[in-house]
Chains A and B, each alone.
Chain A
Amino acid sequence: MKTPWAWLRQRRGRASQWQDELDSHLAMRQEWLHAGGLPADEARRAARKQFGNGLRTLEDVRAVHVTRWLDDFLQDARLAVRGFRKSPTLAVVAIVTIAVGVGAAAAIFGVVDPLLFRHLPYPNDRQLVSIGYFGPVDNNEFNVVASYLDWRRQQTAFQSMTSMRPAPASNCDLMAEETPLRVNCVSVEANFLRMLGVRPAIGRDFTAEDDQPHAPPVALLSFPLWRSNYGGDARIVGQKVTVDDERVTVAGVLPEGFEMPQLGAADILMPEQLDPTRPREANSSGFLRTFARLRPDVSIEQARTQMLPLFQQTTQLDVPKELRSEVRLVIRSLRDRQIHDVKLASWMLLGAVLALLLLVCANVANLLLARAAARRRELAVRAAIGAGRARLVRQLLTESMVPALAGGLLGCGVAWAMLRTLIVLAPEGLLRAGRTALDGRVLLFALAASLAAALLFGMAPALERPRAESLAGSRVAGAARTLFRRCLVAAQVAISLVLLTGASLFVRSFWKLQNEPLGYEPEHLLTASFTLREARYGPQASQSAFFRDLEAKLKRIPGGGLFALSDSIPPRGSMGRPYSNIRIAQHPPVAPDGGMVEFRWVTPGYFRTMGIRIVSGRAFEESERASGDSPVILSASLARRLFGAENPLGQQIALDGDAHWCPIVGVAADTRNNGLTETDPEYYRLRMDNASLPRGGVALFRTPLAPATLARWVRKEVAEADSSLPVTFQAMPERVGQFREQPRFVATLVGSFAVFGLLLAAVGLYGVLSFLVTQQTQEIGVRMALGARPRDIAFEIQSHAGAWTGIGIVAGVLCSLAVTRMVKGLLFGVAPDDPLSLAAGIAVLALTAVLAAWIPSRRATHVDPMVALRYE
C-alpha cells in the first residue's frame, strides 16, 4: 500500500519537475539567443524578460493539476461554519443529536462487531464448522467417540475434522507449590490446533504419538496461565507439572489470545487419546464436541448432503433406539455455534440502534429544513447570479457534512464512554473478552454512520430547486416543504413507536422473569461446589467414605442452618436422562420420544434447604439411606405425565431401563430447573450410602450467616477432609441473577434508546409546529383581528399535530407488529403482539405529542393582531 509519505514525496517530486521544465525552457532560450550573437549575460536577461513572471506560470501549472473540488469544499465548509455560528442553538442541537445517535450506534456496533462480522481468530475462519448430533440431550450439537471415528475415516466433505471432550469433565487441579489450583483442562485431538490453523507460541504442538492411548502425558499451557503461574518463562517447556496427581510434561504454550472454538475456558490442553480398539458400546457413550474445516469449494449445505448417509449409518449403531427419531445431523458455521445464544439479541440491538440513528437523521433533516426555509432567498440569489444546480446541491451537502462530522467526532467520545459502560453491564455471552474495544473498525463505522447521516439529512434541503419566487421573499413556496416535513415527523413518530413498543415488551418480559416464582427460594442460600478427582476417589468405597465424612463435618458448622448435598442444583440443568428409560411396574411401557428428564442425587435435607414444597407423600428420611430400596421423589409434572390421575405414591419405577425397582415416596412441586424459564420434568433420588454417585458435588446452606463467614468455615472443614480439594462458593441469588443478565441488558438498552427516540420525536414535532406557527403569524393575526377565538386557533394547530402523529402511529403500529415478531425468541411470558405493550407505547407517544404541540399552539393564541399585521 502507498503510505502517505510516499504520496507526499511523489507530489513534491511532481512539483519540482514542473519547475525543472520551466528552467530548461529558460536555458534553451538563453542558449538560442546566445547562439544568435548576444553576449551571455544579456542573453540571460532577455530570456528572463521574455519569459515573464515565472512564479505565476508555475502557479498556473499547479492549478491545472490541483483539483477544484477540494477548494470548493473548503470554501463551502467555511461558509457553513459561518452560517452555523449565526444560529448556534440550532448547530448545538444538531451536533449533540448526531453525537448521541452516532455514539450509541458505534458503541453497539463495537459490541456486536466481534459477534456478527469480525473474522474469528483463525485463518480462513469461514471454512470452520461445528458438526454433530443434535438432540434433546444438549443445547449444542455433540458427538460420540464411536461415530466420530467412523465419520473421520469415511467423510469426503471436509479437509479435516477434529474433536475435544466437552466442558463438564474439564475441571482439574494444577498443583502450584503445594496449593491446588482449580483450572480448566480440556482434552483435544492431536490435530486440534492444526485444524484451526493455530500454532503454539513456544514449544511444540501435539503429535500423533502423544494422542495414542497410554502415551506419556503432555500438555499445552494457555498464555495467561503461563504468564501468571510460570512468570512467562520459556524454560517451562519440557518440564513436568502436576495435574490431577499426575506428572505431565509441558509441550508448549498456546498463543496469546487463543480462543477455544466453542469459547469455553481452557487453561491446559491435553491429548484426548481416543481409543478405537475399545468395544463399540464403550466408545458410543463417550461424548465429544467435533469441528471440521470445509473443503474450499464445498458449502455447508453440500457438506450436509454428503454427511447424511454416514450420519444415518452411525445413528443406527450408536444412538439408543428410543432416541433415534429425536436426533438429527447439525452442521453450522463456527460463528453460529459461538453466538448461538446471543445472535438474535445482537441483531436486535443493532437494528434498534440503527432505527435510533434514522430518527436522529430525520430530526436533523427537520432542523436543517427549518433553516433552509429561512435561507431560501440567499439560495435563490446565488442561483440567479449563476451558481449551477450541482454546485448548490454540493454546497448544501457540505453544509450538512459540517455538523455531521462535528457530531461524529463528538460521537466517538460518546461511543467511548458508552462502550465502557456496556462492557461493565453486558452479560458474558454478549462480550468477547478483549475483543470489544473502541478500535479502528468502530471509529470507521462512526465515520461512515456520520457521513451516511449527513447524506440522508442533507438530501432533504438539497433536493428542492431554488425558485424565482423566493427572490421576492414570498412565503408561497413553502407548501411542498412543509408536506415533506410533516412526513418526516410522521416517520419519526412511527420509528419512535416501534422502539417504545419494543422497550415495553422487553421491560415487561424482564419484569415477568424477575417475578416468576422459581419453585425454590434463592434468598439466603449459599452454594459450595467441588469435584472429586478420579485418581484419588476412583474406588466407590473411598468416595462414599469421603462424602459421608464431608457431610458430617459440614452439618456441624455452627450457625450453618439448613444443609443439603446434591450433585447439581437449579437453575442449571442436570445431566438428564431420557424419559423413555423410565419403566413403571405393572404398567405398559411409557411413550417413546419423551425428551429428557432432569435428575439429581440429593440428601434428605434438600427440599427444606432449597425451599421446594412437597406436594404429596413425604421427603426422604435419613434412616432410608442405609436400607436396600432406593426411594424416588418425582416432580409434579413428571408425576402427572407418568401416572395421570392415578396416585403415584407407593408405585415402583425403574429409572435406567433395567429392573432396579424404586418406590416413589413423594411428589415435589415443580421448579424452574433448566434456566429461569423452563420447567422440565424431574426426579430426585436419595444419596444412598452405597450408591455410586457422580464426583461433582454442591453443598447447600440456608443460613442467616454472612456468606464470607460461612465460606471460611466450609473451607476449613473441607480442607480437613481433603486439603487438596478446591471449593467454589456462590450465593444463590447471584447464581440466579446470572440468568437474568441478558434480559436485563436488552431491556435497559432498548429502554434507553426508546426514551431518547421519544425525546427526538417530541423535538421534531415541536419544531415543525413552531415553524408552522411562525409562518402563519400573519394569517393568524388577520383571523384574530376578524374575531377568531384563541381556542379555535389552538385547536387548529393541535389538530395538525394530531393528524401527523396519528399517521405516524398507524404506520408505527404496523411496523411494530412486523418487527416484534422477529424478537419472539428474546421474550418470556409476553407475546410479541402483546396489546398492553403496544397500548403503553401509543399512550406515551400520544401524551408526548400533546405536550410538544401545546407550547406552539399557546404561542399561536398569543399572537398580537397588530404586530402580526405589521410583520412585513
Chain B
Amino acid sequence: MRTDRLQGALEMLILKSLEHKDNHGFGITLHVQTVSEGLLRVEEGSLYPALHRMEKEKLIAGDWRTTENGRRARFYALTASGRKRLAESENNWTSVAKGVRKLLRFA
C-alpha cells in the first residue's frame, strides 16, 4: 500500500520511525518496510518533501552525521513537538481505524 494516499499517514509513519532512534531518509524507508513486513512502502518522491516540511514545522530536526558504514547522511531526530504530534496522530489513527473496522464489519 502506498502511504501517501492517506493524508497524514506518511507523517505519522515518519514520526513513529524516529520515535526510538534518530535515522536518515533511507533508514526510514527501510524501517517502515521491514516492520510492516513489506506491506507498507514509502516513496522517496514523497518522503523527502515531507521530511523537509516537517523539519520546517519543527516536528523533527535534521543534521549531517556519519553512518556506521562511514557514509555521510542527514539524520533526523524527533523534537518535543514532534513527539506530541506523534501521540496525537496515533490516537487519531486508532479511532479512525476502529471506526473503519466497525463500518466494514457492519456492511
Contact = CB atoms under 8 A, between A and B. Distances in A.
Counting chain A CB atoms within 10 Å of each CB, the highest count among B48, B53, B56, B74 belongs to: B48
A344 interface: no
B26 A28 contact: yes
Given A21-B25, A28-B73, A60 B48 contact: yes
Contacts of B74: 17, 20-21, 24
Given A28-B67, A32-B30, A64 B53 contact: yes
B31 interface: no
A49 B30 CA distance: 16
B71 A28 contact: yes
A65 B55 CA distance: 10
Interface in B21-75: 24-27, 30, 43-45, 48-49, 52-53, 56, 67, 69, 71-74
A56 interface: yes
Nearest to A56: B45
B72 A22 contact: no
Nearest to B30: A32
Contacts of A25: 24-26, 44, 48, 73
Contact of A57 (B26, B45, B69): B45
Interface in A22-69: 22, 24-25, 27-29, 31-32, 50-53, 56-57, 60-61, 63-65
A381 B26 CA distance: 46
Interface in B53-100: 53, 56, 67, 69, 71-74
B26 A64 contact: no
B49 A61 contact: yes
A621 to B, nearest CB: 99
Interface in A58-82: 60-61, 63-65
A60 B50 CA distance: 9
B49 A64 contact: yes
A61 B73 contact: no
Contacts of B45: 51-53, 56-57, 60
Given A52-B43, A65-B56, A27 B71 contact: yes
Nearest to B55: A64
B48 A57 contact: yes
A50 B30 CA distance: 13
A63 B56 CA distance: 12
A51 B48 CA distance: 11
A52 B73 CA distance: 20
A46 to B, nearest CB: 13
Given A29-B26, A65-B56, A24 B49 contact: no
Nearest to B52: A64
A51 B72 CA distance: 19
Contacts of A18: 48, 52
B1 to A, nearest CB: 17
A56 B46 CA distance: 10
Nearest to B41: A50
Q: How large is the interface on B (under 10, 10 to 19, 20 to 34, 35 or more residues)?
A: 10 to 19
Interface string A570-588: 0000000000000000000
B56 A50 contact: no
Counting chain A CB atoms within 10 Å of each CB, the highest count among B27, B45, B53, B72 belongs to: B45
Nearest to B27: A28
Contacts of A60: 45, 48-49
B44 A51 contact: yes
Contacts of B43: 52
Mostly helix, strand, loop or mixed at chain A's interface?
A: helix
Mostly helix, strand, loop or mixed at chain B's interface?
A: helix
Contacts of A32: 26, 30
Contacts of B48: 18, 21-22, 25, 57, 60-61
B55 to A, nearest CB: 9
Given A25-B26, A52-B44, A56-B45, A65 B71 contact: no
A28 B68 CA distance: 11
A59 B47 CA distance: 13
Contacts of B71: 24, 27-28, 31
B52 A65 contact: yes
A134 to B, nearest CB: 63
A20 to B, nearest CB: 8
Interface string A244-270: 000000000000000000000000000
B40 to A, nearest CB: 15
B56 A24 contact: no
A47 to B, nearest CB: 10
A24 B76 CA distance: 14
Given A21-B74, A27-B71, A51-B44, A57 B24 contact: no
A231 B72 CA distance: 66
Contact of B44 (A31, A50, A63, A64): A50
B66 to A, nearest CB: 11
Contacts of B44: 22, 25, 50-52, 57
B105 to A, nearest CB: 37
A859 B45 CA distance: 65
Contacts of A64: 49, 52-53, 56
Contacts of A51: 44-45
B41 to A, nearest CB: 9
A52 B12 CA distance: 23
A57 B49 contact: yes
A51 to B, nearest CB: 5
Contacts of A20: 72, 74
A60 B46 CA distance: 8
A61 B52 contact: yes
Given A32-B30, A52-B44, A56-B45, A24 B73 contact: yes
Contacts of B52: 18, 61, 64-65
Interface string A1-29: 00000000000000001101110110111
Nearest to B67: A28
A20 B25 CA distance: 12
A453 B107 CA distance: 64
Contacts of B69: 28, 31
A62 to B, nearest CB: 9
A25 B71 CA distance: 10
Contacts of B72: 20, 24
Counting chain A CB atoms within 10 Å of each CB, the highest count among B24, B44, B53, B67 belongs to: B44
Nearest to B43: A52
A17 B72 CA distance: 11
Contacts of A29: 26
Nearest to A22: B48
Contacts of A57: 44-45, 48-49
Contacts of B24: 24-25, 28
A57 B67 CA distance: 23
A749 B27 CA distance: 74
A821 B26 CA distance: 77
A50 B41 CA distance: 11
A14 to B, nearest CB: 10
Nearest to B44: A51
Counting chain B CB atoms within 10 Å of each CB, the highest count among A17, A22, A52, A60 belongs to: A60
A64 B62 CA distance: 15
Contacts of B56: 64-65
A52 B43 CA distance: 9
A64 B46 CA distance: 12
A63 B24 CA distance: 21
5 contacts: A21-B25, A24-B73, A25-B48, A28-B24, A28-B26
Shortest Cβ-Cβ A-B pairs, 6 listed:
A60-B49, A28-B26, A64-B52, A21-B74, A25-B26, A24-B73
Given A27-B71, A28-B26, 17 more contacts: A18-B48, A21-B73, A22-B48, A24-B74, A25-B24, A25-B26, A25-B73, A29-B26, A31-B69, A31-B71, A50-B44, A56-B45, A57-B45, A57-B48, A60-B49, A63-B49, A64-B53
Interface of B: 24-27, 30, 43-45, 48-49, 52-53, 56, 67, 69, 71-74
